[in-house]
Amino acid sequence: TNCIKYSKQENAEININVETKKARVILEIKDNGIGIKKGEITKVFDKGFTGSNGRKDGKKSTGIGLYLCKKLCGKLGTEQICISGGEPLICNDIIELVKLITEMELKVSLNTNGWFLDKEKFRDLMEAGVACINLSIDSPNPEKHNKLRGLDGLFEKAMTDGKAVVIEAEDC
Reported as a single tens digit per residue, the pLDDT across 29-88 is 777 667 777 788 788 888 888 877 666 666 677 778 778 888 888 888 888 888 887 788
Q: How many helices (DSSP H) and strands (DSSP E) are in the chain?
A: 7, 5
State phi, psi for 27 to the nearest 5 degrees: -110, 125
The whole-number pLDDT of residue 124 equals 93
User: Do the Cβ atoms of 52 and 80 come closer than 8 Å?
Assistant: no
Percent of residues, the chain, with pLDDT higher than 70: 84
CA proximity to 157, closest of 84, 98, 108, 89:
89
CA proximity to 66, closest of 29, 112, 109:
29
User: Alpha helices of 49-141 — where are they, by DSSP H?
Assistant: 52-55, 65-76, 94-103, 119-128
State how far the Cα of 7 lies from the Cα of 33, in Å rounded to an integer: 4
pTM of the model: 0.66
123-146 pLDDT tens trace: 999 999 999 888 888 889 999 988
